Structure 1
Amino acid sequence: MRKTDLNKYVGAPETGRAASASIAVRIALKGLYSVIAVLAVAGVIVLVFLTSFILGFRNESIKMDLNNLKLNYTSFIYVNDDSGQPVEYQRLYSSENRIWVDYDKIPRNMKNAMVAIEDKRFMEHNGVDWIRTAGAVTTLVTKGGSYGGSTITQQLVKNITGDNEVSLTRKVKEIFRAVNLDSRYSKEQILEAYLNVVNYGSGCQGVQAAANLYFGKDISQASLAECASIAAITQNPYKYNPLNFPENNKTRQRLVLGEMLNQQMISQDEYNSAMEESNHMVFVGRKDENVVNDSPVWNWYIDAMFEDIVEDLQTTQGISKDKAVYMMYHGGLKIYCAMDQKAQNAAEEVVSGDNMPSDPKIQLGYYMMDYNGRVLATVGRRGEKAGNRLLSYATDSQRQPGSSIKPIASYGPAVDMGVINYSSILPDEPVDNYFAGGKPGPNNWYKKFYGPITVQRALEISSNAAAAQLVKRISPTTSYRFLTDQLHFTHLNPKTDSVQIAAMAIGGMNGGVTVKEMTAAYQMFGNGGQYNKPYTYYYVEDHDGNVILDNRQNTGTQVIKSTTSTIMNRLLRNVVYGSEGTGGGAAVSGWEVFGKTGTTDEDKDSWFVGGTPYAVAGIWTGYETPKSLSYGQKENYTKWAAKIWRNIMAKYLDGKKKLYFRYDSNVVSATFRTDNGKLSGADVGAPTKTGWYERGNMPEVDTSPPVSSSPASDILSEPEQSEPENSQWETSHPSNPETSSKPGGENSSPASSRPSSSHSQGNGNGNGNENGNGNGDEHGPGQDDNGLWVPPDTEIRPGG
């Protein structure tokens, strides 16, 4: 067949442009078919992947049990009022203030307001509103950013997990978590949890905290308009915060009311009434008026109590410190605080008042207890408290105690061991090999050594040499063990402080002690010889009302004999009221006071620790970075420790019933000779004083003529004293110790005439300078050597 014959069947061949176009069309169609095929395959793959991805979260759920959400809530502190009844004092929370309120205590209008504005199909869906969710996902894919559309259940999930990531993965997880949550709990349980955990601005988590802050009332008392105002906040807690943007809040509040009306949750009359209330609504911005102290900055006592509970939780619950701190902030604990509000207010008022050292850089730490271990008050430093859980100079800082260590490390143990009595003779002379290199010491602040002197006088004038001789006699190890084993000092250095005379005799340890430790130790001189662990709270309950910590059965340990306690009490009263005493500035008019001063080398630290029948207290004053309180200063700041101690104690005791110390019946008074410490058997012209002795352990009687005094002892000669008549108790007591004069004082000599210190603070071999304020009391006419008269047969326990 010819080629021309084929044309009859296949047509003439295309030529030119027509042929080219035809080829292009065929190629395009083939490409399109290929793309469609690829997309179809890809689509199937993506669909399979997405399905697998989504189904991978089908078992996603939150691990939190809604029944345990109460664990994440505010802890409450209760303090006894004047009638002894506990009242709410303060609330503890970190950044979130949460107060749980049960479902049936939340007003119906509050529940309906949240459902109306946030999730109107809440009671119908299974945790997810699929129509709103589809719109939310579309918004996320096309526009990005926040997508909204979450139900109340989904919002609860987000609040519990804290997962705020804007992503499809998070949204898918949230959906399945919400569905699973809805299947496990009732709508009432979910709504209860939601209303207690959602952010309502200004650090308020939950409707109760919000009602407290914005309206000053409990949520159960909130009106319809107030409930709508609270519900209006959740969409944007910053924009709709009633305190910051009240008009914004009111605008959305009215929207909430409108939704409630449209959904037939309220009547027209209720709507109208609420709208009228909205026009005149004022947001008070205060917490519950039943809370005594709503300041976000706690006082020093709450700081100390917080740390005590954290430590005790670690010990009793076997948990870490971080976990214990978390429990304090979020455990919903009920803490029954032991603070005495009168004592705490007295301390804070004095420390923040005008009658303080003129140099504001001089700091202090103050601690007050009763004689059963209850901490009454504490102040951690001068100046406005700028935060919580700050370093306290009362409980945290360790400083050398100077001579305030003498009663508890040397004299107290020595009397208890029977080594000395009230009038035993001690050598006021240097100890051989006291300093490194074999030099004798220590020096006395009064620049002399008086040779043999009585215990009573050595403690009254604060002889460093006599204390060192006594510690050498009983051994530094004995003193150290008494402080650590019986009095629970925890900051001493066993390698150095247990062998150095300086550390135990005059407080020249390498480290230091806290005011808390010193105050607790001095208890034994006012309560019959017991040590009680200081406690700042009575007991603590968990969120279910179970008592998890309890100090109500706090029992003391007998660390010295009751007779020793009485003898030391009488000895330490000479420090305050004796004619040569160094602590006259601490005398409180009309009250018995015992105590001891203490200063360190170059007067870098100044102390007074002592007690009255109601309380024992300690105070330290000094600079944050140690430097002299006297040398180069415009005034001698060492006197301020005793003065501040007195001012706080006087304010605390004001208006209290007069009490006296209870003394052991096995201690009797007797007249002793000051020249040799023996009992005076006859009037042979020897100078005498009244001493206090354990019955059956009296000094021998001496009727020999007196030995002439050495020239040095004449410098500090003592006037004879006589026992007072009962009627002279009130009239003979100096009414104003500040205006009285007294000879001598531990720093009464000019700075230029003082002996130079061989060692500075912290070297363990200091000279133990002592504080003399130069304005203490002389005995009034008719007073005994202790400056006070104790009525016979007085049987009143310290602290009432």
Structure 2
Amino acid sequence: MGRAEERRARQRGGRRAAPKRSSGTAGATGTPGVAGTTNSPSAGGRAAARGRGARAARNGKSGKSGIRRFFTWKKVVGSLFGFVLLTMGAFVLLYIVTPIPEGNATAKLQSNVYKYGDGTILARTGEINRENVALAEVPKAVQHTFVAAENKTFYDDSGVDLKGTARGLLNTLSGKGAQGGSTITQQYVKNYYLNQNQTVTRKLKELVISLKLDRKKSKEYILAGYINTSYYGRGAYGIQAAAQAYYGKDAKKLTVEQGAYLASLLQAPNQYDWAIASDTGKKLVQNRWNYVLDNMVQMHWLDAGERQAMKFPVPKAPKAAPGMEGQTGYLVDAANAELEKQLVAQGTAASIGDAEALVKAGGWTITVNIDKKKQRELEQAVKQQLTSKLNPKKRSVDGDVQPGAVSVDPKTGRVLAMYGGLDYFKHFRNNATRRDYQPASTFKPLILAAALEDQAKTQDGRAITANTIYDGTSRRPVKGSAIGFAPPNEDDQDYGPITVQTAMNKSVNSVFAQMGVDVGMPEVLKVANSLGMDTKGLPAVPAQTLGSMGASPLEMAGIYATLDNHGRKVTPAIIKSAEHKDSTVKLPDPIGSQVISRTAADTVTSVLTGVVDDGTAQTSVRENPARRGQQVAGKTGTSDNNKSAWFTGYTPDLVTSVGLFGESAKNGAQVGLTGATGRIPGSGRINGGGYPAQIWAAYTFEAMGEVSTFDLDTTQGAAVQPSVTPTLSQSPSSTPSSTPTTQKPTSQPPTSSAPPTPSQTPTQTPTTNAPSTPVTTPPTTPVDPLDPNAQ
């Protein structure tokens, strides 16, 4: 091939052709005239390209994958940029079209209407307790306490916290509620211009109005509005009303310490109110008070030396609002507390503090489950059996007696009656809902419930039943526990070998301490929690078997109602309905799921009938003429140093818990009840089988209606006729003395449960009596127990 032909061949192949390459034995230069065949690279390249194109076509590809074509980094960045621009544009538009509104109607407050279950009026509240004051009338240092508490950057920021607001929006969208982060300006806008509802729309409006307000108004104007519109508890809106409610003085006379307390209150007004706060609430508000003052030092608003010398300013006792006297105030407060918890639970309010503000703002119609007739009967029973016998002028201890009671329908969970104290005007704290006193031996049935539910066994492998024999020796060290514990029985009495039934009847501490260890204290607390007791954070130690934790009559009524309801959870409900034009409240069902088996629950009920018929409550309950053969289950309790005394009992249709609490009339400290009324012989101790059981019986036998019997799915306990009576020859470490009988519960109350007339004695010896061989004689002089929690 000549050079001209070679050049034309390359032109035909185009510039894509590679240098020629020949194959053969003559060499690799591809020189013309050498033996072998000359390859055409242009032709081969085109063939290869056609082959790749064909394969790509067959595979449905065109060089890049489909995802990469649509999601390139340029497109992603462009989309994000476009979204940001769109969001900014929408916010600018929202800023332009959203004006600063007039103060909302809620800020002017309305009345709340409270009704009994039958629709009649219980109370009407909502009188405005607010007097606005100029910021100049509030000491500068007191002003700084609010800034230090809520928003240290208040004087320099633009009125909003973008990070906190964004977090709040995300939490609202995800259903978690707000998590704080609002500035003082935002909180003022929420209080005065908007509302407490947790919605995305409200949060966006809050952001826009706050930005505008910060530009148009001075920081002094905003701070004055904030401290004058905020809710401080005790029905007080604004700093002037709060200063009067907590310290009995005008705002202009507040000290820095007092201002720091009021500023601390805004986070949770009722929880932090010193007069009604729990021990936890008091610690929390003191911590926040310290936080406020420390922030003031950090901001150079307070001298460090002065700060160190400051002491917590305990506020004065509150005064009840007009129209809230007697039991009314207790019922209203309890209803408000339940509503506030539900508003937080359903996300309407971000916190209890916000929920309190929503409720106090008014406009609510709240119907409670309280039965007017039963409420009157409970009040009458407390007066007849106890308060009419108290004479503080004659005996100072009588002024320390604080009764509380709650009555619940176990089938519906409705709270039918509540007794909060002598008078809402005289004692602000609700004794029916307070949980700072020990429930003592009313906790023992929960230990038995745990044993039955877990099918627990004793240390030597015997199943725990109503007939199981335990050693009832006082101060006997528990076995199987790494923590030593040897509790005394009441009056240090020894019982020797006794059944679980008799131990419950006589409230024998040593037996239930060992049973708690046998079951395992973590399991005991777990079952107690499932029944309705708040055991969060409680140490799982043997001492808890004596009921050393805190509990309220409302809580104990719910626990025993769950037992009465055959193990299906009952959460006492005070509110029947709550209506508001701006808020919809869906109340939870008071009746929940099965938390322990019916057999376990019914067996505990069966055993507790023995406490009434042959135990610590027999005098007050069994022998009451008004009983008329009514079958009853219940348990007494008397705490350490006689600081509390309880009786929680039930019929098939009514559960009532009554507690007496020793509270110093001088300083509110827990004190003993011993000697109250001056009518108790011997030691003068107020036991659960005394006034609490008497109040319970007087109320229950009047309010119960028709006589009824328990429908029990069990073959154990005092409500079932046992087949054997234990004797001292049966060692606690031996094999079980018997197996549970196969008899069904009697359809009628046992003959020993029928109340005798004054001239009669029971026709039958109770089968659950202590062993026939005499027990060890107790000391002639009662020993002061170290940690009795007996009865």
The answer on 1:559 being equivalent to 2:592 is no
Cα offset, 1:367, TM superposition: 1.5
Question: Counterparts of 1:351 and 1:652 in 2: how far apart (Å)?
Answer: 12
CA contact (8 A) 1:412 1:564 kept: yes
Paired AA for residue 601 in structure 2: S
- Residues 342-384 of structure 1 show CA distances to partners (whole Å, capped at 9, x for unaligned) of 2211222233447445323211221111103211122222x33
- Residues 303-359 of structure 1 show CA distances to partners (whole Å, capped at 9, x for unaligned) of 211111122212221333333223223331121211111221122223344744532
For residue 467 of structure 1, what is the aligned residue in structure 2? 512
For the residue of structure 2 that corresponds to 1:638, the secondary structure is coil
After superposition, where does 1:702-721 map in structure 2 within 5 Å?
none
The answer on 1:585 being equivalent to 2:620 is yes
After superposition, where does 1:243-322 map in structure 2 within 5 Å?
298-316=328-346, 317-322=348-353
Cα offset, 1:407, TM superposition: 0.4
- Which of 86, 93, 101 aligns to 1:63? It is 101
Cα offset, 1:414, TM superposition: 0.9
Question: Counterparts of 2:431 and 2:419 in 1: how far apart (Å)?
Answer: 8
- Which of 521, 535, 540 aligns to 2:559? It is 521
Paired AA for residue 341 in structure 2: E
Compared with structure 1, are the counterparts of its residues 737 and 417 closer, same or farther at alpha carbon in structure 2 (3 Å cutoff)?
A: farther
Compared with structure 1, are the counterparts of its residues 366 and 554 closer, same or farther at alpha carbon in structure 2 (3 Å cutoff)?
A: closer
- Which of 438, 443, 448 aligns to 2:488? It is 443
Question: Counterparts of 1:692 and 1:343 in 2: how far apart (Å)?
Answer: 39
After superposition, where does 1:103-122 map in structure 2 within 5 Å?
none
- Residues 494-523 of structure 1 show CA distances to partners (whole Å, capped at 9, x for unaligned) of 3x3x1x11212x12x3x5222222221111
Question: Counterparts of 1:541 and 1:724 in 2: how far apart (Å)?
Answer: 44
- Which of 67, 74, 80 aligns to 2:117? It is 80
The answer on 1:531 being equivalent to 2:588 is no
Structure 1: 4+ residue segments shifted above 6 A:
59-62, 433-439, 631-634, 676-679, 688-695, 723-726, 728-731, 736-745, 749-752
- Residues 640-676 of structure 1 show CA distances to partners (whole Å, capped at 9, x for unaligned) of 7653444455345437541424424564745321226
Cα offset, 1:62, TM superposition: 6.8
Cα offset, 1:532, TM superposition: 1.3
Cα offset, 1:449, TM superposition: 2.9
User: Sequence identity of aligned pairs in percent?
Assistant: 21
- Residues 71-98 of structure 1 show CA distances to partners (whole Å, capped at 9, x for unaligned) of 83212222233xxxx233322214379x
Question: Counterparts of 1:638 and 1:666 in 2: how far apart (Å)?
Answer: 34
Question: Counterparts of 1:592 and 1:655 in 2: how far apart (Å)?
Answer: 14
- Which of 88, 91, 94 aligns to 2:124? It is 91
Compared with structure 1, are the counterparts of its residues 362 and 689 closer, same or farther at alpha carbon in structure 2 (3 Å cutoff)?
A: farther
Compared with structure 1, are the counterparts of its residues 739 and 76 closer, same or farther at alpha carbon in structure 2 (3 Å cutoff)?
A: farther
For residue 628 of structure 1, what is the aligned residue in structure 2? 672
CA contact (8 A) 1:618 1:645 kept: no
Question: Counterparts of 1:455 and 1:606 in 2: how far apart (Å)?
Answer: 22
Cα offset, 1:435, TM superposition: 14
After superposition, where does 1:728-767 map in structure 2 within 5 Å?
732-735=754-757, 753-758=781-786, 766-767=787-788
For residue 181 of structure 2, what is the aligned residue in structure 1? none
Compared with structure 1, are the counterparts of its residues 438 and 571 closer, same or farther at alpha carbon in structure 2 (3 Å cutoff)?
A: closer
CA contact (8 A) 1:594 1:611 kept: yes
**What number of residue pairs does the alignment pair up?**
457
For the residue of structure 2 that corresponds to 1:549, the secondary structure is coil
CA contact (8 A) 1:343 1:377 kept: yes
- Which of 503, 515, 530 aligns to 2:544? It is 503
CA contact (8 A) 1:526 1:661 kept: no
- Which of 342, 359, 362 aligns to 1:328? It is 359
For residue 604 of structure 1, what is the aligned residue in structure 2? 643
Paired AA for residue 323 in structure 1: D
- Which of 456, 460, 476 aligns to 2:521? It is 476
CA contact (8 A) 2:478 2:485 kept: yes
Paired AA for residue 702 in structure 2: D
Cα offset, 1:740, TM superposition: 9.9
Question: Counterparts of 2:618 and 2:477 in 1: how far apart (Å)?
Answer: 29
For residue 56 of structure 1, what is the aligned residue in structure 2? none
Paired AA for residue 527 in structure 1: N
For residue 173 of structure 1, what is the aligned residue in structure 2? none
For residue 338 of structure 1, what is the aligned residue in structure 2? 369
For residue 671 of structure 1, what is the aligned residue in structure 2? 722
Paired AA for residue 375 in structure 1: V
For residue 498 of structure 2, what is the aligned residue in structure 1? 453
The answer for unaligned runs of 5 or more in structure 2 is 1-96, 131-191, 194-234, 236-321, 391-397, 457-463, 664-668, 731-736, 771-776
For residue 654 of structure 1, what is the aligned residue in structure 2? 702
CA contact (8 A) 1:575 1:594 kept: yes
Compared with structure 1, are the counterparts of its residues 737 and 456 closer, same or farther at alpha carbon in structure 2 (3 Å cutoff)?
A: farther
Question: Counterparts of 2:113 and 2:572 in 1: how far apart (Å)?
Answer: 22
Cα offset, 1:536, TM superposition: 0.5
Paired AA for residue 565 in structure 1: A
Paired AA for residue 708 in structure 2: Y
Question: Counterparts of 1:492 and 1:737 in 2: how far apart (Å)?
Answer: 50
For the residue of structure 2 that corresponds to 1:365, the secondary structure is strand
Compared with structure 1, are the counterparts of its residues 649 and 324 closer, same or farther at alpha carbon in structure 2 (3 Å cutoff)?
A: farther
For the residue of structure 1 that corresponds to 2:503, the secondary structure is helix
Paired AA for residue 378 in structure 2: A
Question: Counterparts of 1:307 and 1:751 in 2: how far apart (Å)?
Answer: 48
For residue 370 of structure 1, what is the aligned residue in structure 2? 409
For residue 406 of structure 1, what is the aligned residue in structure 2? 444
For the residue of structure 2 that corresponds to 1:480, the secondary structure is helix
For residue 789 of structure 2, what is the aligned residue in structure 1? 768
Cα RMSD (Å): 4.4
Compared with structure 1, are the counterparts of its residues 692 and 308 closer, same or farther at alpha carbon in structure 2 (3 Å cutoff)?
A: farther
Question: Counterparts of 1:519 and 1:738 in 2: how far apart (Å)?
Answer: 33
For residue 286 of structure 1, what is the aligned residue in structure 2? none
Larger radius of gyration: 1
Paired AA for residue 515 in structure 2: L
Question: Counterparts of 2:519 and 2:513 in 1: how far apart (Å)?
Answer: 10
Paired AA for residue 350 in structure 1: A
Question: Counterparts of 1:493 and 1:694 in 2: how far apart (Å)?
Answer: 42
Question: Counterparts of 1:481 and 1:80 in 2: how far apart (Å)?
Answer: 34
Question: Counterparts of 1:694 and 1:677 in 2: how far apart (Å)?
Answer: 25
For the residue of structure 1 that corresponds to 2:113, the secondary structure is strand
- Which of 338, 344, 350 aligns to 2:381? It is 350
For the residue of structure 1 that corresponds to 2:585, the secondary structure is strand
Cα offset, 1:729, TM superposition: 7.0
The answer for unaligned runs of 5 or more in structure 1 is 1-58, 98-159, 162-202, 204-292, 680-687, 699-722, 759-765, 771-800
Compared with structure 1, are the counterparts of its residues 436 and 364 closer, same or farther at alpha carbon in structure 2 (3 Å cutoff)?
A: farther
Question: Counterparts of 2:515 and 2:481 in 1: how far apart (Å)?
Answer: 19
Compared with structure 1, are the counterparts of its residues 736 and 540 closer, same or farther at alpha carbon in structure 2 (3 Å cutoff)?
A: farther
CA contact (8 A) 1:365 1:620 kept: yes
Q: TM-score, normalised by structure 2?
A: 0.51
Cα offset, 1:752, TM superposition: 6.7
Cα offset, 1:542, TM superposition: 1.4
Q: TM-score, normalised by structure 1?
A: 0.50
Question: Counterparts of 2:550 and 2:129 in 1: how far apart (Å)?
Answer: 39
- Residues 465-518 of structure 1 show CA distances to partners (whole Å, capped at 9, x for unaligned) of 11111111011111112222x033236643x3x1x11212x12x3x52222222
Question: Counterparts of 2:739 and 2:754 in 1: how far apart (Å)?
Answer: 18
